[in-house]
């Protein structure tokens, strides 16, 4: 299957972050415009389990290329970081019980999540990031990662958009004040839609007003609709601390 269009993919530079311990995280970076007068929102995009690896390319297969179209870069110019999780690792660090519905956030983040947090801090220092407009989104394994990240670093992000994921509902109050739009396919056979419904319920009980879209007659590929949904994208870029 082709990975986006060549023009869109080529707009993401190949990069590797290395910390002081020698740990590395491959990532792609979309830089919107060489305009020294502006600061830009920063979008963090977390891929799914099938795109893990070390080629620093597979993570561009689904969804993130939508941020690199001519229309999107004109209407919503943004820095976009798309890291790649190594094989055998996860974005989220959670215990899962009761067939996955009872998820418990572990105290220590996964190594890819820790490296991503460090990379975000480095990017804030070195690039024209509007720190009031840092957004995180992800699909499938990246949807779990999105819930993990906002539970660990709720003050970092201005909004979140998890797609067909799940998270620790006991942490809902931690990010209840953050704008969030949860999306899922009603017939998802890979990630149970109840995970998203459980989180919507927990957030609502915590006083939040989450956005929620359940696509009818859609299985696991709900991200095809989510990242093409102009209403959702307009909402995302409207958010600020």
Q: How far is CA 224 from CA 47, 69, 169, 184, 190, in A?
A: 13, 15, 26, 11, 15
41, pLDDT greater than 50? yes
Q: How far apart are CA 47 and CA 24, in angstroms?
A: 17
Q: Could you tell me whether strands 129-139 and 211-215 are parallel, antiparallel, or unpaired per DSSP bridges?
A: unpaired
Q: Give the model's pLDDT for residue 152.
A: 97
What stretches of the chain show up as alpha helix (H) in DSSP?
6-10, 70-75, 111-126, 141-152, 193-205, 223-226, 230-238
Domains detected in the chain: 6-238 (3.40.50.1820)
Tell me the per-residue pLDDT of 171-206, one tens digit each, with 9 for 90 and over: 999 999 999 999 999 999 999 999 999 999 999 999
pLDDT in tens, 85-133: 999 999 999 998 766 678 999 999 999 999 999 999 999 999 999 999 9
Between CA 190 and CA 192 the distance in angstroms is 6
Percent of the chain topping pLDDT 70: 96
């Amino acid at each position: 299957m082709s990975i986006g269009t060549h023009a869109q993919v080529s707009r993401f530079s190949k990069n590797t972050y290395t910390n002081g311990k020698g740990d590395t995280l491959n990532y792609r970076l979309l830089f919107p415009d060489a305009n020294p007068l502006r600061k830009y929102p920063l979008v963090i995009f977390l891929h799914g389990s099938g795109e893990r690896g070390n080629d620093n390319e597979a993570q561009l297969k689904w969804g993130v290329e939508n941020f690199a179209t001519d229309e999107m870069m004109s209407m919503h110019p943004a820095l976009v970081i798309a890291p790649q999780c190594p094989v055998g690792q996860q974005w989220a660090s959670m215990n899962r019980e009761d067939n996955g519905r009872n998820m418990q956030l572990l105290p220590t983040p996964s190594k890819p999540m820790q490296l991503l947090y460090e990379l975000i801090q480095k990017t804030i220092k070195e690039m024209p990031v509007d720190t009031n407009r840092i957004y995180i989104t992800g699909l499938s394994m990246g949807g779990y990662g999105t819930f993990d990240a906002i539970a660990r670093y709720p003050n970092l992000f201005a909004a979140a958009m998890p797609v067909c994921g799940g998270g620790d509902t006991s942490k809902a109050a931690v990010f209840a004040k953050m704008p969030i739009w949860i999306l899922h396919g009603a017939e998802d056979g890979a990630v149970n839609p109840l995970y998203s419904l459980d989180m919507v319920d927990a957030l609502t009980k915590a006083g939040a007003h989450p956005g929620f879209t359940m696509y009818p007659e859609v299985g696991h590929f709900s991200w095809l609709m989510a990242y093409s949904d102009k209403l959702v994208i307009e909402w995302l870029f409207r958010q600020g601390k």
